[in-house]
A and B are shown apart, each in its own frame.
Chain A
Amino acid sequence: MVQVSMTVNGKMRKAHVEPRMLLVHFLREQLNLTGTHVGCDTSQCGACTVLVDGRSAKSCTLFAVQADGSTIVTIEGLAKNGELHPLQEGFWEEHGLQCGYCTPGMIMSAVNLLNDTPKPSEREIREGIAGNFCRCTGYQHIVNAIQSAAQRNAAKAFRQTEQAESRRP
């Protein structure tokens, strides 16, 4: 057993794990963060996507010990103070999910996409989520959801700039 410690959704977590334990199993079974899902065993489907130090990563491709010392955000940590993240809002608004199984990973990948590309084209969105499978939606409503979130982000940024401007003497 090996000791690992990491910050998960803002909280410091320490545990003893088998060296072979996958990060996704650590999150799901040790920390009971079951929002992160397992959809395959070859790192294709992306259902297990989380943010590791701010970048999206498939948590089935990492051992928990490899994430030692890092900062992790899972789907459970995305909403802040009861307020949904713009991507969560977008997925809800645009019917970007059906069975919901791929959704947490899809949203975490989209967080990464919008961090890198705040105003993505449809093509950029489709390429940005190509590492995440969805079998229900045909992706079109997911594309709409991410576009909607990008617009929300832009509107929010605009409001913040306006507020900053108005505070200026």
Chain B
Amino acid sequence: MTAPLLPKLVGQRVKRREDPRLIQGRATYVDDIKLAGMQHLAFKRSDVAHARIRSIDTSAARAMEGVEAVFTGADIAELVPPMPIGTPFPSPPHRAVVVDVVRYAGEPVAVVVAADRYIARDAADAIVVNYETLPVVVDPELAMTGKPTVIHPDFANNLAVPLVPSGTGVSADGKTVDDSAIDKAFAEADVVISQRMVNQRLVPNAMEPRGVVAHYEPGKESMTIWSSTQNPHILRTMIATMNGLGQDQVRAIAPEVGGAFGAKINIYPEEYVAAAITKRLGIPVKWVEDRSEAFVATTHGRDIIGYVELAARRDGKVLGLKMRLIADIGAYNMLLTAAVPTLTMLMANGTYDIPAIRATLTEVFTNKTPTDAYRGAGRPEATYFLERAMDMLARELEMDPADVRRKNFIQPSQFPFTTQTGAVYDSGDYEKALDRALEAANWNQLRAERDAARAEGRLVGLGLAMYVEVCGFGPSSSLPTGGWEHSQVTVERDGRITATTGASPHGQGNETTFAQMLADQFGVPLEHIRIHHGDTAVVKQGIGTFGSRSQAVGGTALHLAGSKVKVKMARFASEMLEASPEDLVFENGTIGVRGAPTFAKKFADVAAYAYVPIPLPEGLEPGLSEEAFFEPANNTYPFGCHISMLEIDRETGEPTLVKFIAVDDAGNLINPLLVEGQIHGGLAQGIGQALIEEAVYNEAGQLVTGSFLDYALPRATDFPHFELESTVTPTPVNPFGAKGVGEAGTLGSTPSIVCAAVDALSEFGVKHVDMMLRPEKLWRIINKIHDS
């Protein structure tokens, strides 16, 4: 009797192997870690946005029972050098804890070490800081004039990155700019669309705040640091460098990580400080962020102003695009801060074949929390600016928004397609995604429903947006950390498989998807495979999980390592079976001879032989453990089309999202169930941005949306039932043809919804409305009341 065949798992809706620990409260997040003798850190943070510190009085804090130590900025400056960044742009000095000048509200000015978190907080509150306040600037366009203040003395007019040009006629080094093509496009245009748009600042708000436990063992001269991070290997490198240690002396562990969304890529002051303090005191320390702290101390996202101009012929053909970008990056450059808006410039081209593009980027310092990556990181902004302009063009020409897009798509035959801004799109079929979305949404019927609702006097609108995103980073030329990923696959003595991945997850489900891939590769049950991640002592090398790269890069490294092991295992099996390795098949927990099913060995028996190889086959080493680095030759470019239907209450201005249809093309899928989850999550953050989320600062530089009382994080009641469809256009840049899907939902959703809002408000002659769609803002439009 033959055992039942193991089903192929790649492409199946396999439920997650991570979940049993998570649904039973048995997972270990950073705050769940307790070490003997562990002390707690609390940071004293600036409550003003721009000020010179006259003095700090820590005496009351130091006198409190249970307080082990208090460090001011000057103390910390003796322990760690200034904060490093990961981009090649010039950057002002940035101390982990402020030494002289505070530049945003919430910046750390001192740190307490105490027996428990309550005492630590009490002691931090007992520190008295005497400030000489300085003028504050929160408006980036005002900051660019150098008024009313210059935040960093060496950066005139607060320009972190003075104007960088990109697009048609710009030389590779950016030094020469030829405007003749773009000028010609605008000179020949029948219509020009021109609009200033704001892609507003957001607070990432992973449900688990950041946290770190650091433990330096003086006798071993080594440090272990647990952190809620997306990239433990980068953390290890940075912590070692900043503390004068070798990378062999630091072990970084990302335990269970409760969401990240880009905001846990950065290596933060608190991580450097915890490491420096444990090294100084020789005792383990823990710091866990409060939510109120998280709002000001964890990097923000977006905050880019776009001046967008589109030149087109009357038939809808786009001739030229100008996109002038001003990014408000807040008070400092963090790890990837300066690089994020460059992705907006890179992706200005969208899904269209536009003959001439001029994109420019300026990055500006203001007295706000620094920005860095947030789900989508620069690409949602590009999509929003371009797609809103395309929609305005359709409206101007009285064309269907789908028809204007169709007129301008890059055609499938044009791939690989080099854009005007220098991206090389791998593969795409944009019209197919558009058609699938129109069909799924039943576009013509939706239009009839909208028109019927309007006839009743209701304000109903439809919005449509295309997107294309760059993800699956590297190659190494696109990432300062190196653009590869690493994996090791070991077939153990008992035939079980242990694999490691450097793509350290925080909710993506890599333990499941990667096990699916290995199960198919080796023909063994999923239950016999374990994926290790997030510990630099276990996972030899890695970059991390961001930019929708886990599957495209990490998954490929895993597959390559698995392939190496498989080749070697086939050699051992060929000795046992006296057959050629090329004739062997791995299936159903056996390794057998193709076409001769009775000639087979159990997978576990071949594994056992490989570890006690008598005789040892010639030219083979014992054991079954191989590793691989994979660096893709190019990024991947997933795409899709998002359609929304929105109704606005005529009385109150309150918008309600009635329908949302998303068609996404992420190439081949490993686990469609998990892909749906990723898309839902991205949509939720995009819809949140469009409708209710906004980080608002007042003139004094105070974040007035500094808690969940004021910052509207979407609830279950804020969303309709999402309708998802997909198309599949594999990428040629990796063997699985998988593109990446983690961020996709944030791209098409914002323009789609704002287009729907403008459509709903069309009777009032509105051409554009900025996010978020605050009811008051819409009510003013409906009632023709303009801002005073």
Q: Is A bound to B?
A: yes
Q: Give A residues with C-beta under 8 Å from B.
A: 18, 20-21, 28, 32-42, 44-45, 47, 74-76, 78-79, 84, 88, 91-93, 95, 97-104, 107, 122, 125-127, 129-130, 132-143
CA distance A47 to B684 in the complex (A): 18
Q: Are A138 and B707 in contact (CB under 8 A)?
A: no
Pick 24 A–B contacts, CB within 8 A, sort by A: A34-B29, A34-B32, A37-B258, A38-B31, A40-B707, A40-B708, A84-B23, A84-B24, A88-B24, A92-B23, A97-B22, A100-B19, A101-B29, A102-B207, A129-B716, A130-B715, A130-B716, A134-B207, A135-B206, A135-B685, A136-B677, A136-B681, A138-B680, A138-B684
Inter-chain contacts of A38 with B (CB < 8 A): 31
- Expressed in whole angstroms, the Cα–Cα distance for A28 and B31 within the complex equals 9
**Cα distance, A76 to B23, chains bound together (Å):** 9
A41 to B708, CA, bound (A): 9
Interface centre among B15, B685, B716 (most CB of A within 10 A): B716
B670–chain A nearest beta-carbon distance, Å: 14
B349 at the interface (CB under 8 A from A): no
A85-B715 Cα distance, complex, nearest whole Å: 24
Chain B 679-724 interface residues, beta-carbon cutoff 8 Å to A = 680-685, 707-709, 713, 715-717, 719, 721-722
CB-defined contacts of B685 to chain A, threshold 8 Å:
135
Known contacts A34-B32, A100-B22; is A95 also within 8 Å of B716 by CB?
A: no
Expressed in whole angstroms, the Cα–Cα distance for A21 and B55 within the complex equals 33
Contact with A along B601-614 (1 / 0, CB 8 A): 00000000000000
Chain A residues near B16: list those with CB within 8 A: 92, 95
In the assembled complex, how far is the CB of residue B527 from the closest CB belonging to chain A, in whole angstroms?
Answer: 15
- CB-defined contacts of A88 to chain B, threshold 8 Å: 23-24
Contact A78 B24 (CB under 8 A): yes
B24 pairs with A42, CB closer than 8 A: no
Known A-B contacts A39-B291, A42-B291, A137-B684; A101 and B208 likewise in contact (beta carbons under 8 Å): yes
Given A44-B707, A136-B207: 8 more A-B contacts, CB < 8 Å: A33-B25, A44-B709, A79-B24, A100-B258, A104-B23, A136-B677, A138-B681, A142-B716
What is the bound-complex CA distance between A129 and B345, given in angstroms? Answer: 40
The reply on B507 being an interface residue by CB < 8 A is yes
Note all chain B residues with C-beta closer than 8 A to A18.
118
Docked complex: B583-626 residues within 8 A CB-CB of A: none
* Distance between A161 CB and nearest chain B CB, rounded to angstroms: 28
In the assembled complex, the CB of B597 is this many whole angstroms from the nearest CB of chain A, namely 35
**B716, A136: Cβ atoms closer than 8 Å:** no
Q: Is the CB of A47 within 8 A of B207?
A: yes
User: Which residues of chain A are within 8 angstroms of B19 by Cβ–Cβ distance?
Assistant: 91-92, 97, 100
Contacts of B508 in A (CB 8 A): 98
Interfacial chain B residues near A44, Cβ < 8 Å: 707-709, 713
Q: In the complex, what residue of chain B is closest to A34 when comparing beta carbons?
A: B32
Would you call B717 and A127 a contact (CB within 8 A)?
yes
Distance in angstroms between the alpha carbons of A40 and B708 in the assembled complex? 8
The 6 tightest CB contacts between A and B, nearest first, are A35-B25, A101-B258, A100-B22, A99-B507, A138-B684, A138-B680
Alpha-carbon gap, A136 to B676, bound state (A): 11
B673 at the A/B interface (Cβ < 8 Å)?
yes
B27 CB contacts on chain A under 8 angstroms: 35, 100
Binary interface profile of B, 11-35, with partner A (CB < 8 Å = 1, else 0)?
0000110111111111111011010
Which of B291, B509, B719, B721 sits near A40, CB closer than 8 Å?
Answer: B291
B317 within 8 Å of A (CB atoms): no
Instruction: Say yes or no for B674: interface residue by CB 8 A criterion.
Output: yes
Pick the contact of A39 from B32, B207, B260, B680 — CB < 8 Å?
B207
The answer on a CB contact under 8 Å between B23 and A103 is yes
Give bound CA distance, A3 to B713, whole Å. 38
**Is there a chain A Cβ closer than 8 Å to B292's Cβ?**
yes
Asked if B205 lies at the interface with its beta carbon under 8 angstroms from chain A, I say: yes
Assess whether A133 is in contact with B207, with CB atoms less than 8 Å apart: yes
A125 to B719 CA separation, bound complex (whole angstroms): 12
Across-interface contacts of A132 in B (CB, < 8 A): 716
CA distance in complex: A104, B711 (Å): 23
Report Cα–Cα, A21/B121, bound state, in Å: 13
Check A98–B32 contact: CB distance below 8 A: no
Instruction: State the CA gap A74–B25 with chains docked (Å).
Output: 9
Assuming the A-B contacts A95-B674, A101-B29, are A140 and B680 also in contact, with contact meaning beta carbons closer than 8 angstroms in the complex? yes
Instruction: Output the nearest chain B residue to A22 by Cβ-Cβ distance.
Output: B118
Q: Are B24 and A95 in contact (CB under 8 A)?
A: no
Chain B residue, CB-CB nearest to A85: B23
Indicate if the CB atoms of A135 and B15 lie closer than 8 Å.
no
**How far is A133 from B688 in the complex, measured between Cα atoms in Å?**
13
Shortest beta-carbon distance, B656 to chain A, in Å?
13
**B506 close to A99 (CB less than 8 A):** yes
Residues of B within 8 A of A75 (CB): 23-25
Cα of A140 to Cα of B716 in the assembled complex, Å: 8
Q: Could you say which residues of chain A place their CB within 8 Å of the CB of B292?
A: 41-42
Which residues on the A side are within 8 Å of B209 (C-beta)? 39
A39 touches B684 (CB 8 A): no
Distance between Cα atoms of A5 and B256 in the complex (Å) = 31
- Minimum distance in angstroms from A23 CB to a CB of chain B: 14
Q: Does B57 interact with chain A (Cβ within 8 Å)?
A: no
Q: Which residue of B lies closest to A125 (CB)?
A: B716
Q: How far is the CB of B501 from chain A (nearest CB, A)?
A: 17
Q: Does B261 contact A (CB under 8 A)?
A: yes
Q: Taking the nearest CB of chain A, how far is it from the CB of B710, in angstroms?
A: 9
- Residues on A with C-beta less than 8 A from B507 are 98-100, 136
